[in-house]
Amino acid sequence: MLLLWCVLTLGVAPGAGAVSGVVAFAQDDLSNDWRRAQVAAVGRVLARYPEVDYRVTDARGDAAVQALHIDRQIRRGVDVLITSPADAELLDPVLRRARAKGIPVVLLGRRTTSDAFTTYIHPDNRVITRRLARFLFQRMGNEGRVLMLRGVPGATPTLHRTRAFEELAAEEPGISVTTRTANYLRGDAILAVDEFLRRHDGFPFDALYAQSDSMAEGARVALRRNGGDPARVLIAGIDYIEEARAAIRSGEQLVSYTYPTGGAEGAEIALRLLAGEPVPRRMRLESRRVTAENVDEVAPIFRQDEQDPGP
């Protein structure tokens, strides 16, 4: 369900073949399955429009490379630019250049430090994190040690998910938080948690807050590798991918909050821009809490076979 932060509604997308143009998606990192699924979701909608040329670039987690990719698309004169900025400050100048050139900019999930965008589509990371923190702390009895696995530094979701969690933790004298960066990636989470466990004797945390479920999955791998049992740790994550559903079912994850990719919505906005139609300035995507009580009722935000990023 979408909450539109304006009175304008999307209505019905233009008919197939009714629009034409070039839509470029400058993605942050296609090695991340959530971001790969986001690109694929855009592609599935645009594939119904044979006159729309869909182009995808992969910055491989490098914000400077992503800025170069966007600059290249500006010089090529694309009709619509879709992106999810890896770094709010670094990507702001190039997106302002795109808007100055008259290129519509659709931001998915992340924004920059200015209002240099046409439409911003996203869940509310602060709200999600506050709900997650309250639920986790309540299950901990408002006492214990939390290991927080942080996403990409500089990205707005990371900033919001970190600050909101730390603010609520500061209100609970019995809660202590230790942070490690794992860039929303399984592999980085395995390394971060493995290193953390090796540096500490015994079991150094009671709960784990992963800012993405990919990192939560990596943490479980590291726990097992070091002789730990993930079921002994209260693990909370965001996204609700297939691995999170399986972990909740098996008792190895307490909770996940859905985080829709916004890819389909971004594609619909791009089509309306190509058709010369008005679009909303902001769209907020709703999130849902998933626990053992409702895990069988809520489908993961994407399947593994929905991650082909397309051309």
CATH number for domain 2-123+261-286, candidates 3.20.20.10, 3.50.50.60, 3.40.50.2300, 3.30.420.40: 3.40.50.2300
Q: Categorize the per-residue pLDDT at 302 as very low, low, confident or very high, splitting at 50, 70 and 90.
A: confident
Q: In whole angstroms, give the CA distance from residue 242 to residue 6.
A: 33
Could you check whether 2-123+261-286 and 125-258 share the same CATH topology?
A: yes
When pLDDT is averaged across residues 282-293 and rounded to a whole number, the result is 98
Q: Is the pLDDT of residue 246 over 50?
A: yes
Identify the CA nearest to 23 among candidates 285, 299, 302, 263.
Answer: 263
Q: Is the pLDDT of residue 178 over 70?
A: yes
CATH architecture of 125-258: 3-Layer(aba) Sandwich (3.40)
Q: Categorize the per-residue pLDDT at 13 as very low, low, confident or very high, splitting at 50, 70 and 90.
A: low
Identify the CA nearest to 121 among candidates 6, 250, 237.
Answer: 6
Q: What is the pTM of this model?
A: 0.86
The pLDDT assigned to 121 comes to 98
Q: Is 99 exposed, middle or buried (0-12, 13-18, 19+ CB in 10 A)?
A: middle
When pLDDT is averaged across residues 123-133 and rounded to a whole number, the result is 98
Contacts of 297 (CB under 8 A, 6+ apart): none
The pLDDT assigned to 4 comes to 37
State what percent of residues in the chain have pLDDT above 70.
Answer: 92
**Strand order in 105-108's β-sheet?**
2-4, 282-285, 119-123, 105-108, 80-83, 21-27, 52-58
Q: Categorize the per-residue pLDDT at 138 as very low, low, confident or very high, splitting at 50, 70 and 90.
A: very high
Q: In whole angstroms, give the CA distance from residue 117 to residue 266.
A: 13
Condensed to tens digits (0 to 9), the pLDDT of residues 217-227 reads: 999 999 999 99
Residue 215 · residue 187 · CB < 8 Å: no
> Can you spell out the DSSP letters for 182-246?
-TT-HHHHHHHHHHHHHHSSS---SEEEESSHHHHHHHHHHHHHTT--GGGSEEEEEE--HHHHH
Sorted by where each begins, the domain ranges of the chain are: 2-123+261-286, 125-258
Q: Categorize the per-residue pLDDT at 80 as very low, low, confident or very high, splitting at 50, 70 and 90.
A: very high
